[in-house]
Structure 1
Amino acid sequence: MTESQSTEQTGSTSEASTPNGATESLHPTYTLQQFPEKLAVVKLPPGAEIPEWAESSSLFSITATATETSLVCAGRNVPTKQVAHKGMTAFAVMGTLDFALTGVLAALLAPLAEAEISVFTISTYDTDWILVPVAKAEAAAEAWRRQGHTVDLAVPVKPTRKKKT
């Protein structure tokens, strides 16, 4: 599947007129959803258990390597002494991104780099998530809109989890 074919699943391709009146593809555009929760990116030691204070939100992610465990969770209960970067806003690329699709993050991160907005990214099986500081969320949305992307407010869905017995 080519990038332009896959882009139809998640967005569209911007077009421009050439001198002879034909149109050419400039870059793919995407629809992103902005989630309202304030998230935290937390550093835990390697092999750490998930702490009781860690709360699920629109995005709850655990990444473990040989040298650290990183946790993205709701920021409201993260202890003040915990090594964490709090106050992050999450944006998700809408739709399912095909694994053969290339350049999605490049298209979305370049406008943020130009606007000097730092990011923390996470990819799931279906899509990509981009976290930015809460204070820069509106600037990020505007940077994307200037590039032809769409940014909508998300209505979070609470995940259903079985209670431990």
Structure 2
Amino acid sequence: METTAYRLTLLPQPLAICQLEPDTPMPEWAWNSKFLTITRTPDEFSLLCDANLVPAGFRSEGGWRALKMEGPFEFTQIGVLASVLNPLAEAQVSILSIATYDTDYVLVAEPDLPTALAALAAAGHQVSE
């Protein structure tokens, strides 16, 4: 099966993923993030946000960079995320992924970014900053 080449944009700000207790109220500082995604389950409350906003003492892992897949994509499209994730897996780059209504974001640890960008380019994808 032939993979489709996609356009991606590297977002400028480093991000952090934070874990809070499931019943924790939304921290006010997080609303100032230019990139913010919130996931609350019965087991945990996670935020993905601008790394520079995370106060000391929060359980978090920073140093993530987001690649925005330039959409929008139809919900019926098949293999969109796989076309980007497969070259990254082959290059031994671990990822986090986030979906929104219109598009997907692939997060790569900052030290793996050069390898990720090279793998995506080799697969025919275009990445802009």
TM-score of the superposition, structure 1-length normalised?
A: 0.73
Richer in helix (by share): 2
Shift of 1:79: 2.4
Unaligned runs of 5+ in 1: 1-24, 154-165
Shift of 1:104: 1.2
Match for residue 93 of structure 2?
117
Are residue 32 (structure 1) and residue 8 (structure 2) matched? yes
Shift of 1:138: 2.2
Shift of 1:129: 0.4
Q: Deviations over 1:2-29 (max 9, x none)?
A: xxxxxxxxxxxxxxxxxxxxxxx72111
Shift of 1:133: 0.6
Percent of counterpart pairs with the same letter? Answer: 38
The letter of the residue matching 2:55 is: P
SS at match of 1:63: strand
The letter of the residue matching 1:68 is: E
Are residue 56 (structure 1) and residue 56 (structure 2) matched? no
Match for residue 58 of structure 2?
82
The letter of the residue matching 1:56 is: S
Match for residue 105 of structure 1?
81
Q: Deviations over 1:49-75 (max 9, x none)?
A: 221232312x21001111111101111
Q: Which has the higher contact order (CA 8 A, sep 6+)?
A: 2
Aligned residues between the structures: 128
Shift of 1:80: 3.0
Unaligned runs of 5+ in 2: none
Alignment equivalent of 1:140, drawn from 98, 116, 128:
116
